[in-house]
Structure 1
Amino acid sequence: MGGRRGFAFASLAALVAGLRFPSTRAPRPRLDASRSEEPTDGSKTALFESPQWPALLSSLNRLPSFTVANERGQPLEYEAPGGTPLAMFYADVQAAQAELVDARKMYPELDCGVIPVGVGTAFRLASEGKALLSEYERPPPSTEMAAGSSPVGQQLPLFGCLEISRDGGPGRGPILPLFMSRSDALAAVRAGAADDLDVMCLSLDRAVELLLTVEGTGFEFVPPSASLDFIDATIRSEGWGNSHAPSSASAAGDA
């Protein structure tokens, strides 16, 4: 994973640090009733009080999610049943682009566009009931889910294979790559000449919980290759800065 090309833009960590969610936002269309996602009740926010959370947030913010925003960078809010305002973050850039088409039809005066937001920030806002985080790729029904995880709603599914874990170094346990894209996970397994290995699914919620509460847990979060391609293309066409961020992010619990 470390050999994958980096993507050049003002790093997501820096971008997110400067991102603000002002009180004056874009208008709020109502959420489609067919959406499976629902805002959480905020019960997971105790995890964010962990002293390890800031470092994990930094790692997660090297993974891109995307949101539709107006020309001032204010995310388009949606109105959930009951009138709750919610931002919408997409792990799948194509889903964000599809939402952009609808937003431009509804609000042509806003000059909307798609902007990247770190997954860590999107995850925290979703966990606090202030946003929805849509999965990149829903696992098929046959995919084995780790205990306590779910493929829908706030619990962003991540995909991995225990057999392609790498050594975490002295005093550390193995590091398991977790891919936002199941297709990328399958490609990594095949690249290791191991077509018959099973790809498991672990929710981002559960991965965060393990990293913050279970000693020796180690994951390497890998962004979707399609997201990297989109960011690279946007840099070339729009000049999103010139610094380099790694194409994967490692995080480990205390050894």
Structure 2
Amino acid sequence: WILVLPVAHGFIRPRGGVQPPRTPASAALGLPEGMEMPEATGVFAEPGWPDLKVELNRVPTWCIVQADGAPAKEASGATLFFVDVDEALSRRASLGIERLKKGGESDGLDIIPVPLGDAFTLAAGDIKAFLVPSQASLKAAGVDPTSPEGTEVPLFACMQIMKEDERTGKPVLPLFIDAVEAQQATSMAQEAAPAEAGEETLEVVGLTLTGAVKLLTQGGPGAPAYRWAPWQGWDVVVPTPRQLRA
């Protein structure tokens, strides 16, 4: 990605003030007046969901599993999908210790990649499945991990950076789970085209995964002209995980 270039090069820079880091997704992504956001599970019936899920599935989450492939559930019965692989590994270690203290087996615990789109689907439809945001991303977004907002996965973007989609020709907004990557991309954009940026400082803003998915799946007249466009650093091959057993 080369960001913030003239329209002639396939990039646009929408104008407008940069919002503070905790801008609601509806405001940050320009929700048209009168368009209501469906419930989280309602997005699965929206016309944009299949394509969006493909994009989401380029990003891995991590689930702790037992030797037989079944999720290693928490004491509450919850299955967790970690955005941060290091936090998944840390929880695997502590879960093994907890099981040993209770006289159980700790051997065989492992972590496997689960595509984000699949994990989001499971978490939205199951009261005992949860996406776990990274502590670093919550801190970067200015969110208290103990608050209700602390259960949401933060996303980061620069609202002044857009790129023309090679497939559709429409402008797309890069969204980042990693605040550091978002800041790096924004800095690259500022340095790549200083004449375009002028004296304006490009800034990273925050929104939530749930809010972004609700907005980006809606179709029809007046729908936001944005779609999920992961930074190239996310464009990884997510291995097909073993079938998670109930």
- Same amino acid, percent of matched pairs: 26
**What residue identity is the alignment partner of 2:93?**
V
Deviation per residue, 1:80-113 (Å, 9 max, x gap): 4xxxx32101101110010011122234444101
1:73 aligns with 2:103: no
Task: Quote the offset at 1:221 in angstroms.
Answer: 2.3
Q: Unpaired segments of 5 or more residues in structure 1?
A: 3-41, 144-149, 233-239, 242-255
Q: CA RMSD in A?
A: 3.2
Could you tell me how far apart the structure 2 residues matched to 1:113 and 1:170 are? 38
| Structure 2 residue 193 is matched with structure 1 residue 184 | no
Distance 1:141-1:164 versus aligned 2 partners, 3 A rule: closer
Is 2:131 the partner of 1:133?
yes
Structure 2: distance between partners of 1:96 and 1:218 = 28
Rate the CA distance shift 1:212–1:171 in 2: closer, same or farther, 3 A. Answer: same
Superposed displacement of residue 44, structure 1: 1.9
Point out the structure with max Rg over C-alpha: 2
Query: How many residues get paired?
Result: 181
Shift of 1:170: 8.5
TM, length-normalised to structure 2: 0.63
Taking a change above 3 Å as real, the CA distance of residues 191 and 224 of structure 1, as seen in their structure-2 partners, is same
Q: What amino acid maps onto 1:56 in structure 2?
A: L
Identify the match of residue 205 of structure 1 among 182, 203, 210: 210
- CA drift of 1:47 comes to 1.3
Q: Which residue of 1 aligns with 2:227?
A: 218
Letter in 2 for 1:221: P
- Partner-residue secondary structure (3-state), 1:180: coil
Return the offset for 1:49: 1.7
User: What residue number does 2:113 align with?
Assistant: 116
d(CA) in 2 for partners of 1:140, 1:112: 31
Flag the 1:184–1:55 CA change in 2: closer, same or farther, 3 A.
Answer: same
Quote the offset at 1:115 in angstroms: 0.8
Contact 2:157 2:173 in 1 (8 A): yes
Q: Is the 8 A contact 1:63 1:223 kept in 2?
A: no
CA contact (8 A) 2:172 2:227 kept: yes
**Higher relative contact order (CA closer than 8 Å, sequence separation 6+):** 2
Q: Distance in 2 between matches of 1:188 and 1:141?
A: 17
Q: Which runs of 5+ in 2 are unaligned?
A: 3-37, 100-104, 192-199, 241-246
Per the alignment, residue 104 of structure 1 pairs with: 96
Runs of 4+ in 1 over 6 A off after TM superposition: none
**TM-score normalised to the size of structure 1?**
0.61
Could you tell me how far apart the structure 1 residues matched to 2:90 and 2:48 are?
A: 36
Q: Contact 1:50–1:212 at 8 Å: present in 2 too?
A: yes
- Identify the residue that residue 46 of structure 1 maps to in structure 2: 42
Q: Distance in 2 between matches of 1:76 and 1:223?
A: 32
Q: List aligned pairs for 1:72-91, cutoff 5 A.
A: 72-80=68-76, 85-91=77-83
Mapped to 2, the partners of 1:51 and 1:141 lie a distance apart of 30
